[in-house]
């Protein structure tokens, strides 16, 4: 996959999202050999220390290395700053906060981006999810507050309700005075074509996405929740609220079935 991407990229850099524990230093070495330019080393928002080996190793290779804090809505702005500074101390050139649960409102983004810009000395980025329909608004606010990097996906391709759609974000940023350097006309053309080769349908915000956004649950839990709900005959809304109370994070999918079974037996 990386080899094919490297051969076909002419003007763009090749980046990967890597999670220490799921990936090893040996994996990182292979990615370097395959020509990856940018490494986004990601941890849960409270576990920045787990990124130490990866960030320090990759920084020595001369590659661009960013630190990524996932599930960032689970902690305060001040706590995010503390975690970001840890990644900065390891050699990260930027810190990106992911609204993995699609929970943020624009005011939440404003508080976090402003504090990260004020108390770190590296670039700051933002990654939106659209559970509450705020992906574009949140991305715009992040840019207005000084974010250097904004994540977006064509047609919003991503887990659950999806991410900020690139073809929608571009004109919003341009109308707001930002120059992206991205050809909007070509992006619109590709947004039409992409349904033929990438995904059967574009992500939309469904009721289950709204609930996971409100309860700060990982957007990728949507399918496991629906499966568990049907298997044990429990309402997915009840299951979601219980999972939210338990503060489940990505990687704990197995517990969804366990919680659903307990709800059925109550």
> What are residue 123's DSSP bridge partners?
94
SS (H, E, C) 101-160: CCCCCHHHHHHHHHHHHHHCCCEEEEECECCCCCHHHHHHHHHHCCCCEECCEHHHCCCC
Residue 100 DSSP SS3:
coil
Pairing mode, strands 149-150 and 94-98: unpaired
| 65 pLDDT more than 90 | yes
Q: By three-state DSSP, how is residue 68 classified?
A: strand
Say yes or no: domain 207-264 is CATH 3.30.530.20.
no
pLDDT tens readout for residues 173-232: 999 999 999 999 999 999 999 988 887 888 888 899 999 999 999 878 888 999 999 988
Q: Which two tokens stand for residue 118?
A: 């004020």
What is the pLDDT at residue 158? 87
pLDDT digits (tens, 9 = 90+) for 128-160: 999 999 999 999 999 999 999 999 999 999 888
48-54 average pLDDT score: 97
**Was domain 2-197 assigned CATH 1.10.260.40?**
no
Average confidence (pLDDT) over 159-173: 94
Delimit the domains of the chain by residue range.
2-197, 207-264
Say what the pTM is: 0.93
**10 Å Cβ neighbour count for 262?**
12
Residue 217, φ and ψ in degrees, nearest 5: -105, 145
The rounded distance, in Å, linking the Cα atoms of 7 and 246 is 45
Reported residue count of the chain is 266
2-197 against 207-264: fold identical: no
Is 101 within 8 Å of 125 (Cβ atoms)? no
pLDDT attached to residue 195: 86
Instruction: State the pLDDT at residue 71.
Output: 94
């Amino acid at each position: 996959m990386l080899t094919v991407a490297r051969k076909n990229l002419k003007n763009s850099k090749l980046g990967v999202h890597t999670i220490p524990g799921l990936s090893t230093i040996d994996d990182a070495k292979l990615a370097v050999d395959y020509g990856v330019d940018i490494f986004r080393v990601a941890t849960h928002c409270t576990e920045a220390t787990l990124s130490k080996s990866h960030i320090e190793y990759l920084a020595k290779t001369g590659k661009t290395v960013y630190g990524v804090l996932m599930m960032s809505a689970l902690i305060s702005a001040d706590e995010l700053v503390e975690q970001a500074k840890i990644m900065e101390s390891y050699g990260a050139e930027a810190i990106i906060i992911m609204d993995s649960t699609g929970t943020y409102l624009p005011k939440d983004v404003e508080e976090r981006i402003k504090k990260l810009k004020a108390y770190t000395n590296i670039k700051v980025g933002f990654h939106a999810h659209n559970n509450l329909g705020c992906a574009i608004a949140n991305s715009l606010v992040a840019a207005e507050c000084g974010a250097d990097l904004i994540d977006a996906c064509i047609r919003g391709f991503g887990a659950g309700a999806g991410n900020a759609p690139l073809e929608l974000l571009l004109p919003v940023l341009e109308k707001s005075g930002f120059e992206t350097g991205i050809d909007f006309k070509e992006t619109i053309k590709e947004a039409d074509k992409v349904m033929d080769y990438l995904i059967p349908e574009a992500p939309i915000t469904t009721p289950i996405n709204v609930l996971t956004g409100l309860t700060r649950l990982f957007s990728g839990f949507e399918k496991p929740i629906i499966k568990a709900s049907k298997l044990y005959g429990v309402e997915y809304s009840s299951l979601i609220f219980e999972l939210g109370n338990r503060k489940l994070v990505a990687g704990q999918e197995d517990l969804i079935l366990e919680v659903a079974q307990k709800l059925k037996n109550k």
